[in-house]
Amino acid sequence: MAKKQCRRAAVFAFALAALSVTGAHAQQSALNIYNWNDYIAPETVPEFEKATGIKVTYDLYDANETLEAKLSAGGSGYDLVVPSLVPFAARQIQAGFYQPLNKAKLPNAVHLDKSLLARMAVYDKDNTYLIPWMTGVIGVAYNVDKIKQIMPDAPVDSLRMIFDPEVVSKFKDCGVYMIDSPTEVFPPALKTLGLNPDSQVIADLQKAADVHFKIRPYIRKYDSSEYINALANGDICVAWGYSSDIQIAKHRAIEAGKGVHIAFSIPKEGAQRYIDTMAIPKDAPHPEAALTFLNYIMQPEVIAKTSNKIYVQSGNADARQFVVPEVANDTGIFPTPEVEQTIYAISPSTPDVDRARTRYWTRVKTGH
């Protein structure tokens, strides 16, 4: 009887060990990523799959609010997500959305930009949960030739280009788009009023909303992804958007060879910097595979391919040596120290402020 029990125990232990190995293999064999549109070099995922044998499911979104809604609901099924640092990732850390990074499995983190890590540490103590993905600024995109025809002295280097009704009204017929993200369209409106772009005062948000109401008749569409192709195709002439998106539009227009010339300008009054980060959700089904991917893309020559493809500054300091001169020397991508002094970030806000800002933005978009 004792021998039978021993044999049964041995069989059970063997089965348990086999199940454990199978589970570990399953965890390493799949990876679910949720990232922004047009935000990675096309070869990166296939090359990662070939190098590791991990099969990647890669889904897209075009607004931080979309990502946050999925994370808030729980059970998203994603292993890696790409939230903007503030206010989104910062408050998501406080809400317990992410799991700490196992830095022992991320030796390539030595290549990350220490200045960006320092900025991030203000919101992510000891860089516990996040790594920097890409960084840029929010500013003005414009069709050079159309603007020159309509208003030769247009203030393309100023917030007035978008937020002054007398200016933006001149471009209504040729088309103006604005990204659909209240946290990234209220700060510049506040700035035009001489107020703190990071204001958490609800009365100030009302004033920012009033600015948007005044320019609303001249905005063709609020959208955070379509404006890329609309610019590249010459369908619109002005947009307020992310520098990385606008650089993509600029180069798509060049590749199309139809004479559409897109430029990007950082407003002289100041611009909001965004740092997009990568994080592993707390309930990620494949966290080990996520760590494998993070370590893979932190290789300077790997992440540089994305910088070269989408014309954006990565969070990897050592990658710049692999970035093509056209990108590395573009001051719209790597701002000068003087311009850098005018760039600001915004802070996480309270739920009351978030609700007020969302409510005002909904009213702006609906027109009442």
pLDDT digit string, tens, across residues 226-249:
999 999 999 999 999 999 899 999
> Does residue 349 belong to any structural domain of this protein?
yes
> Does residue 17 belong to any structural domain of this protein?
no
Share of the chain residues as helix, strand and coil, in percent rounded to the nearest 5: 55, 15, 30
pLDDT band at 28 (very low <50, low <70, confident <90, very high): low
Residues 289 and 148 reside in one and the same domain: no
| 212-230: average pLDDT | 96
Residues 74 and 209 reside in one and the same domain: no
Residues 163 and 242 reside in one and the same domain: yes
> Does residue 317 belong to any structural domain of this protein?
no
Instruction: Work out the end-to-end distance of the chain between its first and last CA atoms, rounded to an integer number of angstroms.
Output: 81
According to the model, what pLDDT value does residue 225 have? 87
Residue 19 has pLDDT above 80, yes or no: no
> Does residue 254 belong to any structural domain of this protein?
yes
Residues 6+ apart with CB under 8 A from 339: 266, 331
User: How far is it, in rounded angstroms, from Cα 208 to Cα 193?
Assistant: 8
Check which CATH number belongs to the domain holding 208 and give it: 3.40.190.10
Residues 191 and 258 reside in one and the same domain: yes
Residues 36 and 162 reside in one and the same domain: no
User: How far is it, in rounded angstroms, from Cα 269 to Cα 139?
Assistant: 11
| 267-275: average pLDDT | 94
Residues 38 and 73 reside in one and the same domain: yes
Q: What are the φ/ψ torsions at residue 96 (nearest 5 degrees)?
A: 80, 30
| 163-187: average pLDDT | 96
Residues 201 and 98 reside in one and the same domain: no
Number of domains, the chain: 2
Residues in the chain, total: 368
Residues 228 and 362 reside in one and the same domain: yes
Residue 11 has pLDDT above 70, yes or no: no
According to the model, what pLDDT value does residue 62 have? 83
| 37-62: average pLDDT | 95
| 158-176: average pLDDT | 98
> Does residue 78 belong to any structural domain of this protein?
yes
Q: Tell me the pTM.
A: 0.78
pLDDT band at 214 (very low <50, low <70, confident <90, very high): very high
Can you list the pairs that 244-250 forms with residues at least 24 positions away whose Cβ atoms lie under 8 Å? 244/39, 244/134, 244/136, 244/310, 244/311, 244/312, 245/38, 246/139, 246/141, 247/310, 247/311, 247/312, 247/330, 247/332, 247/333, 248/38, 248/310, 248/311, 249/141, 250/311
> Does residue 182 belong to any structural domain of this protein?
yes
Residues 6+ apart with CB under 8 A from 9: none
Least confident of 9-13, 152-156, 203-207: 9-13
Q: What is the mean pLDDT of the chain?
A: 91
Residue 23 has pLDDT above 70, yes or no: no
Residues 229 and 361 reside in one and the same domain: yes
Residue 224 has pLDDT above 50, yes or no: yes
> Does residue 42 belong to any structural domain of this protein?
yes
| 140-167: average pLDDT | 98
What are the tens digits of pLDDT across the range 71-116? 999 899 999 999 999 889 999 999 999 999 999 999 999 999 998 9
According to the model, what pLDDT value does residue 119 have? 87
According to the model, what pLDDT value does residue 194 have? 96
According to the model, what pLDDT value does residue 81 have? 98
> Does residue 118 belong to any structural domain of this protein?
yes
Residues 225 and 361 reside in one and the same domain: yes
Residues 41 and 155 reside in one and the same domain: no
Instruction: Determine the structural domain holding residue 356 and report its residue range.
Output: 136-273+344-366
CB atoms near residue 212 (< 10 Å): 21
pLDDT band at 296 (very low <50, low <70, confident <90, very high): very high
| 57-67: average pLDDT | 92
pLDDT band at 15 (very low <50, low <70, confident <90, very high): very low
Residues 88 and 237 reside in one and the same domain: no
Q: Are 346 and 187 in contact (CB under 8 A)?
A: yes
Which residue is listed with tokens 């930009």?
Answer: 113
According to the model, what pLDDT value does residue 16 have? 40
Residue 17 has pLDDT above 80, yes or no: no
Q: Name the range with the highest mean pLDDT among 213-217, 311-315, 346-350, 364-368.
A: 213-217
